[in-house]
Chains A and B, each alone.
Chain A
Amino acid sequence: MADQSRTADMTPTAAADAPAPRRGVTMLLVVIGLVLLIAAPFYLYPVFVMTLLCFGLFAAAFNLLLGYTGLLSFGHATFFGGSAYFTAHAAKEWGWPPEFALILGVLGAIGLGLVMGAIAIRRQGIYFAMITLALSQMFFFACLQMPFTHGEDGIQSVPRGVLFGLIDLDQPLNMYFFVAAMFVFGLAAIWRIVNSPFGMILKAIRENEQRAVSLGYSVAQYKLAAFVMSAAFAGLAGGLKALVMEFATLTDVTWQMSGEVILMTLLGGIGTMAGPVVGAGVIIALQNRLATSDFPVTIITGLVFMVCVMLFRRGIIGELMESRLGRMLGLR
Chain B
Amino acid sequence: MSDPVQTTEPRVVLSARGLGKDFSGFTAVNNVNLDVHHARIHALIGPNGAGKTTVFNLLTKFLPPTRGRITLLGTDITKMSPDVVARMGLVRSFQISAVFPHLTVLENVRVALQRPAELHIQFWRPMKSLEVLNGRAEVLLNDLGLMEYRDTRAADLSYGRKRVLEIATTLALDPEVLLLDEPMAGMGHEDVHMVSDIIREVAQHRAVLMVEHNLSVVADICHHVTVLQRGEILAEGDYETVASDPRVRTAYMGSDA
B87 & A216 in contact (Cβ 8 Å cutoff): yes
Of the stretches B15-23, B147-155, B216-224, the one at the interface is B147-155
Specify which chain B residues have a CB less than 8 angstroms from the CB of A219 in the assembled complex: 83
Which of B84, B91, B122 contacts A197, CB < 8 Å?
B122
- CB of B53 to closest CB in A, whole Å: 13
Specify which chain B residues have a CB less than 8 angstroms from the CB of A216 in the assembled complex: 83-84, 86-87, 91, 115, 173
Specify which chain B residues have a CB less than 8 angstroms from the CB of A14 in the assembled complex: 151
Interface size of B by CB at 8 A reads 44
Q: A11-B150, A213-B82, A214-B86 are in contact. Are A197 and B92 (CB under 8 A)?
A: no
A215 & B119 in contact (Cβ 8 Å cutoff): no
B127 & A203 in contact (Cβ 8 Å cutoff): no
**Considering the complex, which residues of chain B in the window 150-194 have a beta carbon less than 8 Å from any beta carbon of chain A?**
150-151, 169, 173
Most buried by B among A11, A197, A218: A197
**Considering the complex, which residues of chain B in the window 101-144 have a beta carbon less than 8 Å from any beta carbon of chain A?**
101-103, 107, 110-112, 114-115, 119-127, 129-130, 138, 142
Q: Is the interface of B mostly helix, strand, loop or mixed?
A: loop
Q: A204-B103, A216-B87 are in contact. Are A197 and B94 (CB under 8 A)?
A: no
Which of A18, A207, A215, A225 contacts B103, CB < 8 Å?
A207
A217 & B107 in contact (Cβ 8 Å cutoff): no
A198 & B115 in contact (Cβ 8 Å cutoff): no
B98 & A211 in contact (Cβ 8 Å cutoff): yes
Q: Across the interface, name the chain B residue whose C-beta is closest to A271.
A: B102
- CB of B10 to closest CB in A, whole Å: 25
B114 & A200 in contact (Cβ 8 Å cutoff): yes
Which of B91, B102, B114, B121 contacts A214, CB < 8 Å?
B91
**Considering the complex, which residues of chain A in the window 79-102 have a beta carbon less than 8 Å from any beta carbon of chain B?**
none
Specify which chain B residues have a CB less than 8 angstroms from the CB of A11 in the assembled complex: 147, 150-151
- B99 contacts chain A at the CB level, 8 A cutoff: yes
Q: Across the interface, name the chain A residue whose C-beta is closest to B85.
A: A216
B142 & A4 in contact (Cβ 8 Å cutoff): yes
Interface size of A by CB at 8 A reads 33
- CB of A192 to closest CB in B, whole Å: 6
- B226 contacts chain A at the CB level, 8 A cutoff: no
Which of A15, A18, A213, A225 contacts B86, CB < 8 Å?
A213
Q: A207-B100, A210-B98, A215-B173 are in contact. Are A195 and B126 (CB under 8 A)?
A: yes
| Cβ proximity bits A1-41 to B, threshold 8 Å, 1 near / 0 not | 00110011001001100100000000000000000000000
Specify which chain A residues have a CB less than 8 angstroms from the CB of B93 in the assembled complex: 214
**Considering the complex, which residues of chain A in the window 185-238 have a beta carbon less than 8 Å from any beta carbon of chain B?**
192-193, 195-201, 203-204, 207-208, 210-219, 225, 229
A200 & B111 in contact (Cβ 8 Å cutoff): yes
In Å, the complex CA distance between A212 and B111 comes to 9
B121 & A218 in contact (Cβ 8 Å cutoff): no
- B60 contacts chain A at the CB level, 8 A cutoff: yes
In Å, the complex CA distance between A11 and B125 comes to 25
- B49 contacts chain A at the CB level, 8 A cutoff: no
Q: Across the interface, name the chain B residue whose C-beta is closest to A215.
A: B112
Specify which chain A residues have a CB less than 8 angstroms from the CB of B101 in the assembled complex: 207-208
Would you give 21 A-B contacts (Cβ < 8 Å), ordered by A? A3-B148, A4-B148, A11-B150, A11-B151, A193-B123, A196-B123, A196-B124, A196-B127, A197-B120, A197-B125, A198-B123, A200-B103, A200-B120, A207-B103, A210-B98, A213-B62, A213-B83, A214-B62, A215-B91, A217-B115, A219-B83
User: Sorted from nearest, which 4 A-B pairs have the closest CB atoms?
Assistant: A216-B86, A198-B123, A7-B148, A207-B100
Q: What is the interface of chain B, defined by CB distance below 8 A to chain A?
A: 60, 62, 81-84, 86-87, 91-94, 98-103, 107, 110-112, 114-115, 119-127, 129-130, 138, 142, 145, 147-148, 150-151, 169, 173
